[in-house]
Amino acid sequence: MLKVLKLSFNIIIIAMMLMLALVWFWKNDAFELKAAKIQGNRYLTKEEIFELAGIDFSQDIFEVDTDEIEIRILSHQMIENVSVTRFLPSALKIKVKERDLIAAVSGSEVSAVDRTGNLLFQCPTEAIYDLPVVTGFHFQTDSNGVRIVKESGLVQQAIRILNDVKNMDLVVFHEISELHYSQNHGFVFYLKESNSPVIFGNGNYHHKVIYFMTIYHHLLERNKLDDVRVIDIRFKDQVVVKNKT
């Protein structure tokens, strides 16, 4: 019984000390918000994220509405996810995840598109600098005033093709400068080094991606890529390579 009373007394003393410490911190503005640390950004600057966050540094850390800050940051199209946490006694930690872009889309204007098909108009130029450009499409405004691609189904197919290439072979993906769609030839890749067209046509795209990667590495290993005028993969189980001479 004596041990129980002694333990209870110690707990009460510790609790009182903690309460006194909290009161001291509070009265001395130790919990006044002084800093915010941003992590995870690649293309958006810290200044841009701070502006989106709209943090009020006159508040103490317990008055800050972290949910509201997250909502404001998520209003930017480049932000896929964000978490805002308190870092006692006087700082916030903001961790952002930017969207994984797959291509730029060039029509009557230029935007970017991520791997899930989201169209982004609020995109820094440097974020799409080295990405393939998807062309042959047109933008329009829907009934809600939102900018969309007129040929949205074809753009989604273009994204699936590029995702296939990127998932299977990054070397080949980075060699693609453009993926164009035309009524006559369907989808056509253009390569960076030689600007040679790779004609995919329509349908059976996954298998055609595999054929394309196989023939690309075959020609690369033999230093024959510069000699190629066109690679045609429109025909079933067949790849036609036409040389410049």
- What pLDDT is stored for residue 47 in this prediction? 93
Each residue's pLDDT tens digit, 148-166: 777 788 888 999 999 999 9
* Between 186 and 110, the higher pLDDT residue: 186
Domain ranges of the chain: 31-98, 101-243
Token pair of 192, please?
A: 């960076």
Where helices occur in the chain by DSSP H, the ranges are 2-27, 46-53, 66-74, 152-168, 170-173, 205-221
The hierarchical CATH code for the domain 101-243 is: 3.40.50.10960
Each residue's pLDDT tens digit, 141-152: 777 777 777 778
Instruction: Give me the sign of the Cα torsion angle 216, 218, 219, 223.
Output: positive
- What pLDDT is stored for residue 30 in this prediction? 61
pTM score: 0.76
Q: Say how many C-beta atoms besides its own lie within 10 A of residue 178's C-beta.
A: 19
The hierarchical CATH code for the domain 31-98 is: 3.10.20.310
